[in-house]
Structure 1
Amino acid sequence: LMGRLVDQLDEATIRAMGVFYAVQEPVKSETRGEGDSAAGRRLSQECAGCHGEDGNTDQASMPTLAGQDAKYFVKGMKHYKNGERNHQKMFEAVEGLNEQDMIDLATFYAEQTPRRRDVRVPLRSAEWINRCERCHGIDGNSSDPRFPMLAGQDKTYLVSALESYASKVRANTTMHAMSGPLSSMDIERIAQYFASQQPRAVVYMRLPCAENQ
């Protein structure tokens, strides 16, 4: 079912959904497990490296188990064990567990209090563009000789440049900080925007020297 649902979602929708759920305040399941919580705690030591001592992990790629519904947890473990969920590391983790072990683990984690993670809400494309314009000028027409003009540059070039800064191939600590948080979609949209702007010639005015006054 989930496979069919996510197949219809584009990257932007998936990212937006991820942010929405990540910023919600988690609530512990009200349903208590039917196993031995103390036994589950002992078994959980094998899981702590990835999922945290109490099921609250700091690793972005790992799910929080604290407060998870016990029945859902057991169902998930069974799916890993029988291969219905294809995940080699989880298969190895649950391969030696019997059903009672799973119930005990589920009971332990269901009793733990989940913590909301520290989530940085990503900026919208317009907000990123506004940040770029602080140095590179409105619409990418820079009037500061320290910063290059972006308006009218080829989109492919701009994408390549941002990717090079993000990966630190090109040296510039300011641009490393700016481009590091960008997703591939952010880069595409920023590049598309500045590539579509009309470039303007920069006019420098020579000021009279003080001694000539």
Structure 2
Amino acid sequence: MNETVRAYDLDAVAYADASPAVTAALRAEVAGLAARLGGGARVLEIGSGGGRDALLLEELGLAVRRTDITPGFVALLREQGHEADLLDPLVDDVSSPEGPYDAVWANASLLHVARADLPTVLARLAAVTRPGGLLQMSVKEGDGDGWSTHGSVRNPRHFTYWRAGPLGAAASGAGWDDVHVWSSTGRERQEAWLGVSAVRGTVAP
């Protein structure tokens, strides 16, 4: 993970500048989340990157806590005038003094988490989400893991690929109920992705 964080850190501005425009599918996904939560709901965003998704969430009336593991992204968000926290969801305190979150948004960020560590991350996120709260996340679809150089980030980044069954099982075992996993393509590189939506269970993970 350290080498992946460093890769993003070196090209944080270029990555943010190259982020694709909000697609109709993403806008619909965020709108659906906002409709289920209601105005003013508190969302923990894991992997805010250049801040595109947070702005969209806020446009629809949600209150977003921006976080990222990459110092360059956190600095960029702060330069834009936003509060942002440097946070590794595997080891850092993800709780809020204001109490449990209403939802967790992790779009194309947990795909860098090692396979063995993802259940721990999801359980830690469930622990700081209120019962009945929501999880929305996406990862790349595929088998195994590997290093990749593409786009505006020049140095290699490590990706973990998932299939729907194991990914759903990881979420279910980490304290999330009503887990729904779907496959989608159509992003800027026409890659296959898996989306996940789930509801925080009433039993602590």
TM-score computed with the length of structure 1 as normaliser: 0.24
Structure with bigger strand share is 2
Larger Rg: 1
Which structure has the highest helix share of the two?
A: 1
Q: Give the alignment's TM-score, normalised by structure 2.
A: 0.24
